[in-house]
Structure 1
Amino acid sequence: MSNPRKVLMISYLFPPIGGGGVQRALKMAKYLPQYGWQVHVLTVDSPAHVSLDHSLLQQLPEGTMVHRASERGVGKGSNIPGGKADFVSSQDRQLSSNKHPGSNKGWKKEFIRIAKPYLKKAKEGLLIPDDQILWYSDAVKKGLDVIYSHDIDVIFSTSGPYTNHLVGLALKNKTGKPWIADFRDPWTQNMHQSDIPWKKWIEETMERRVMNTSDVVLTVTPSFARNFKKKHPGIKNLQVIYNGFDPEDYDKITPIDTRGLFTASYAGIFYKERNPRLFLEAVYELIQEGLVDRKHLSCKFAGVFDYPGYSENYDCVKQLGLEDVVEVLGHLPHHEVLSLLKGSNLLLLIGDTAPGSGDYIPGKLFEYMAIGNPILALTVPGESERIIREYGLGEVVNPFSQKEIKQAYLRMYQLWVNGNGYGETERSFKKDINIYNRKYQAEQLAEVMETLI
């Protein structure tokens, strides 16, 4: 058998970091070897992250090399064979357990609370394009070492964070190797883009260099691709490889015991433009109107319910008196999230409402698709709405309309009460869903890389 091609995958977000942001890089690393590519991952050493999930490392096949570069240039980094999942897990668990309980108590906690908004604004203006720029210097050094010592054929950087692409740009310029820049979200066209003028100018310059220098630009929706091409006509080769789901993640899932309750679940992160408060108010009104029985209801939220430093969502639960209905689970390992979703009667998709958010497809939509339970989507018209309607995955409502939310939730609740499953006759998988299969997407990436060497 011929020697495999070698790709350097630049991804700051990578296990043991957990959450939706790691899935694209992780699944590409898992499946690319089946198409003749050995994967070398360049990621961060000693990750300090809100979500850690060491179990994800077990998905990496033998021969995968994970090269870890230090943030702020501190430390030597490490080279971890991805197939040695036990070794990776034990080392990284030790790193993640070095916490100091009690360090934020008393006056320190109050000081942090007061200073946090000012520090956040200062950090936003200093760390460009994102916090992970502190990783840039050591990542470039480590990347050069990997490219030359392992005879890398192709560089692949995937964002966010966008610092990944600056590392890719530097390595491209220094080595001349073919480079693919993969955008899971837009950069300067992002709906959460900074409003600091001079920062925006710097990032526009960075983005233009990335777009015009990379040999291939990949992204995850046709809308993103159209916007990229319109803004950067100098892009050499622009292609779409969707996000998706890994069928193997859904084998032998044991659904949670919902104790006979009508259970609606959400897995993901909430923030200002994406929050559950109108949904909670809709459920509250249905209870008050006697249309649903609160003793039969359960709403479960896994992930980040309130962003650090904020409490609006939990305050809403208390104000509405829904503590007996709402359960905030915090971060869960991925397999536990899937068990939660599989056991739920209703999967909540609460989308962003900022201008342009219709161009986005949240990664959880594909997980929901694979789970197969009905979706209640609070989302603006756009890519997500199209997929849900096209495949008969559930109901889509106006995220600003409490009336529509109430009506859709009540319809699904009544079907459950009457013992009728939702969507058995409405779902249609006549259309090929293979484009959302992670293994097929790795095959697509392998074909793109083959054209560059």
Structure 2
Amino acid sequence: MDSELDSHALNKVLLIAFHYPPVNVSSGIQRTLAFSRYLPDSGWQPIVLSAHPRAYPFVSDQQLRDIPQGMLVKRAFALDSARHFSIKGRYLDILALPDRWVSWLLGGVISGLKLVRSQKPAVIWSTYPIATAHLIGLVLQRLTGLPWVADFRDAMLDDVYPAPGARRRCHAWLERKVVEACSAAVFTTPGAVELYRQRYPYISDSKWHLIPNGFNEDIFEEVEIESKKNLESSEQKPFLLLHSGVLYPSERDPQPFFDAISELKNEGKISSKRLCVVLRATGHDELYQPVLDRLDINDVVTLAGGISYREALSEMLSADGLLIFQASNCNHQIPAKIYEYFRAQRPIFALTDNQGDTAKALLEAGQGSIVALDNKDAIKAGLDDFLQKVRAGEEVGVTKEAAQRYSRRAFSADLGEVLYKVSCSNKE
């Protein structure tokens, strides 16, 4: 249901985002949700243009309460081609260009124009990785002439995604149009900024901006209070090592990790009484369960189902250690969960390339247990060392003070500055 918004704010910004409650995804909604929550502190009153919930693969009302009271949220017509236009699981390729939610384009543009006329925002903002969001932003920018900030949570093109074909050509065309037409392009990692700077050398450096992902302190404090109420003695419990979120077979392949666990178990260095590895909501359990069966490590490694966002944060707070998986082909990316890991203040064991942005962020935060994702022997030695150091109190998590630099409230203030700059430039 749409809600009415007070009209007294000095500046308004139209936020175009596919991922917004009630969509049920692990981290995709948190960035826009935080911006909509904290931008008023920087003098910006958000208006949200999202998709109708029927387009979402999964919905939940668990984070509807996190939408600021009085926020105007318009949910435009949208369908999912894979579910609504397929026959026996197949549908025309044109119905998935630039993505499966291209039907959102028409409803989004019409609703966006109505919001521009009625609410008179000073700036348009849209966020990828749902490419149709940027397509809506592009059309609205051309029709209204308003300054536009394009937010890239991921790169629209990399070495392997999208696969060669019509979708890759469409993404390449749209990406170029977006970076040329937008007033500012925002990225979440230094590597992504450099990637686009090199890809578009004719674009002024002043267009590129870095605003990382982060954690929501208000929600964390709420969860922390509840977690302390439910705290149980863990003296007789095995060491809980947790990964929370999707494990992509190519970008976060856990096979070498499984092999390392198997060898450590066979050598008697770990057992189910001493270590419990929980891989929460991998998204690919059907691929990994046979591997666990074959290696006989089901007693040590558990594939656990999805839980609510607050429950996931609570589990991070209760873990003895946290896991990060990130392949070298994603060196210009940083998993969004890493900032929540920082705030959870638990020691982190990272399987990633030490030259990538993920490793650099970990080192800056004082987390040095980093081994290559694809090196079984390095994982084996590194994990054994990590477990010993944590048990001895020699390996600790990020301090709460150090973690505060990654709060979404602070990053929302950074976005407020970008919005102010492009709105002022438009008036000149």
3-state secondary structure, aligned to 1:378: strand
Q: Which residue of 1 aligns with 2:119?
A: 150
Query: Is the Cα–Cα contact under 8 Å of residues 266 and 300 in structure 1 kept in the other structure?
Result: yes
Hey, what's the Cα distance between the residues in 1 that align with 2:130 and 2:155?
11
Instruction: Classify 1:151/1:296 alpha carbon distance in 2 versus 1 (closer, same or farther; 3 Å).
Output: same
**TM-score normalized by structure 1?**
0.82
In the alignment, structure 1 residue 14 sits paired with structure 2 residue 59: no
Matches of 1:377 and 1:190 in 2, distance apart?
A: 23
The size of the alignment, in residue pairs, is 401
The secondary structure found in structure 2 opposite 1:301 is strand
Alignment deviations for residues 273-313 of structure 1 (CA, whole Å, 9 cap, x no partner):
12322212211211111112332221112223417xxx221
Q: Secondary structure at the match of 1:177?
A: coil
Asked if the contact 2:342–2:398 (Cα under 8 Å) also holds between the matched residues in 1, the reply is no
What are structure 1's unaligned runs of at least 5 residues? 75-111
Going from structure 1 to structure 2, the CA distance change for 1:406 and 1:167 (only over 3 Å counts) comes to same
TM-score by length of 2: 0.86
In the other structure, the counterpart of 1:167 is 136
Q: Give 1:377 deviation, angstroms.
A: 0.7
1:419-434 paired onto structure 2 within 5 Å: 419-424=391-396
Unaligned 5+ residue runs, structure 2?
Answer: 1-6, 82-86, 424-428
2:113 alignment partner, SS class: helix
CA contact 1:224–1:359 (8 Å) conserved in 2: yes
Offset, 1:123? 5.8
**Matched residue SS, 1:167:** helix
Partner SS state of residue 133, structure 1: coil
**CA deviation digits over 1:92-115, x for unaligned, max 9?**
xxxxxxxxxxxxxxxxxxxx9xx7
Give the stretch that moved more between structures: 386-395 or 176-185: 386-395
Change (3 A) 1:124 1:278: farther
Please give the alpha-carbon distance, in whole angstroms, between the structure 2 residues aligned to 1:204 and 1:59: 35
* Equivalent residue in structure 2 for 1:316, among 280, 288, 291: 291
Matches within 5 A, 1:156-235: 156-189=125-158, 191-196=160-165, 198-235=166-203
Quote how far apart the aligned CAs of 1:195 are.
1.6
Aligned to 2:340: 367
Q: Give the aligned partner of residue 3 of structure 2.
A: none
Indicate the residue corresponding to 2:46 in structure 1. 39
Contact 1:374 1:394 (8 Å CA) reproduced? no
Contact 2:80 2:100 in 1 (8 A): no
Q: CA RMSD in A?
A: 2.6
1:337 to 1:201, Cα distance in 2 relative to 1, 3 A: same
What residue in structure 2 maps to residue 243 of structure 1?
213
Alpha-carbon contact 1:6-1:151 (below 8 Å) kept? yes
Question: By how many angstroms is 1:330 displaced?
Answer: 1.6
Secondary structure at 1:304 match in 2: coil
Tell me which residue corresponds to 2:67: 60
Change (3 A) 1:352 1:398: closer
CA 1:439/1:139 → structure 2, altered by over 3 Å: closer, same or farther? same
1:264 paired residue number: 241
Please, which moves more after superposition, 43-52 or 367-376?
43-52
Q: Pairwise mapping of residues 440-451 of structure 1 onto structure 2 (< 5 A)?
A: 440-451=410-421
Q: What letter is aligned with 1:442?
A: S
Amino acid at match of 1:204: A
Counterpart residue number, 1:89: none
Q: Does 1:337 align with 2:312?
A: yes
Q: Secondary structure at the match of 1:294?
A: coil
After superposition, the Cα gap between the structure-2 partners of 1:125 and 1:279, relative to the gap in structure 1 and judged at 3 Å, is: farther
Q: What per-residue deviation string (whole Å, max 9, x for no partner) do you get for residues 28-57 of structure 1?
A: 011011222111111111245455442222
SS at 1:224's partner residue?
helix
Matched-pair contact (CA < 8 Å) for 2:244–2:281:
yes
Give the Cα separation in 1 of the matches to 2:130 and 2:272.
42
| TM-aligned CA distance change 1:9 to 1:45, over 3 Å | same
Matching residue of 1:383 = 357
8 Å CA contact 1:73, 1:137 repeated in 2 = no
Residues 265-284 of structure 1 aligned to structure 2 (within 5 Å):
265-273=242-250, 274-284=252-262
For the 8 Å contact 2:56–2:80, the answer to whether it is kept is no
Task: Quote the offset at 1:362 in angstroms.
Answer: 0.8
Partner Cα separation in structure 1 for residue 54 and residue 274 of structure 2:
41
Aligned to 1:136: 105
Instruction: Say whether the 8 Å CA contact 1:19–1:51 is kept in structure 2.
Output: no
Tell me, in whole angstroms, the C-alpha distance in 2 between the residues paired with 1:152 and 1:73. Answer: 29
Aligned to 2:84: none
Cα separation, 1, equivalents of 2:160 and 2:211? 21
**How far apart in 1 are the matches of 2:373 and 2:407?**
28
Shift of 1:422: 4.0
Name the CA shift for 1:228/1:302 in 2 (closer, same or farther; >3 Å).
Answer: same
- Deviation, 1:271, is 2.2
SS for the counterpart of 1:54 is coil
Q: CA deviation at 1:427?
A: 5.9
